[in-house]
Amino acid sequence: MEDMMVHEQWMRAAMEEAKKAEAIGEVPIGAVVVRDGQIIGRGHNLRETTLDSTAHAEMIAIREASSALGAWRLLDCTLYVTLEPCPMCAGALVQSRLPRVVYGTADPKAGCAGTLMNLLQEPRFNHRVDIIEGVLQEECAAMLTDFFRRLRKKKS
């Protein structure tokens, strides 16, 4: 169970990133890339702020981690993300040769780590990513449902 405590610790760091997104009115999704017990990349959703459909938490964290490592291959790294990766991010994770993804809550609308499809473990690709799902699931899901509830209240 020690492993799960470590996963929860890094998922809390991803949740801190998600809160940064929420603080500026973005949908609260956050990610961190961890290597050797250290965070080498962080990202939170910035789609509205940057008017960029590719500014997802994972993409930003991957870029930062690659720049920290000086390599596009994220060997020996784990990405923690509060929400299951979308097709774009799952594609980027495969491209970066990242060995493992840990996510908080499933995404029934875009999840490509097993919910709608599983791009991370597609046997025809040249790389497959291990998946650990459901770490701090309830807290990660609550952040999103609370955000959308407040948004609806504001509109009505």
CA distance 153 to 156: 5
Position 89 contacts Zn ion (CB under 5 A): yes
Residue 122 is a catalytic residue: no
* Residue 149: CA count within 13 A, CB half-sphere: 6
Say if residue 86 carries a ligand binding annotation: yes
Position 40 contacts Zn ion (CB under 5 A): no
Q: Which of 34, 65, 86, 113 binds Zn ion (CB under 5 A)?
A: 86
Position 92 contacts Zn ion (CB under 5 A): no
Q: Least distance from C-beta 27 to Zn ion, angstroms?
A: 11
Position 98 contacts Zn ion (CB under 5 A): no
Position 44 contacts Zn ion (CB under 5 A): no
Written as one letter, the residue type at 18 is A
Q: Which residues, including other chains, have CB under 8 Å from residue 97's CB and lie 6 or more apart?
A: 73, 74, 75, 127
Residues forming beta bridges with residue 35, ordered by sequence position: 38
Q: Least distance from C-beta 82 to Zn ion, angstroms?
A: 12
Position 101 contacts Zn ion (CB under 5 A): no
Is 9 or 49 the residue whose CB approaches Zn ion more closely?
49
DSSP 3-state assignment of 30?
Answer: strand
Contact (CB, 8 A) for 117 and 86: no
Residues in binding contact with Zn ion, number by CB under 5 A: 4
Residue of 75, 60, 79 lying closest to 14 (CA atoms) = 79
Query: Binding to Zn ion (CB under 5 A): which residues in 52-81?
Result: 56
Contact (CB, 8 A) for 119 and 131: no
Is 6 or 55 the residue whose CB approaches Zn ion more closely?
55
Could you list the active site residues? 58
Query: What is the contact surface with Zn ion in residues (CB under 5 A)?
Result: 56, 86, 88-89
What residue numbers does the annotated binding site for Zn(2+) cover? 56, 86, 89
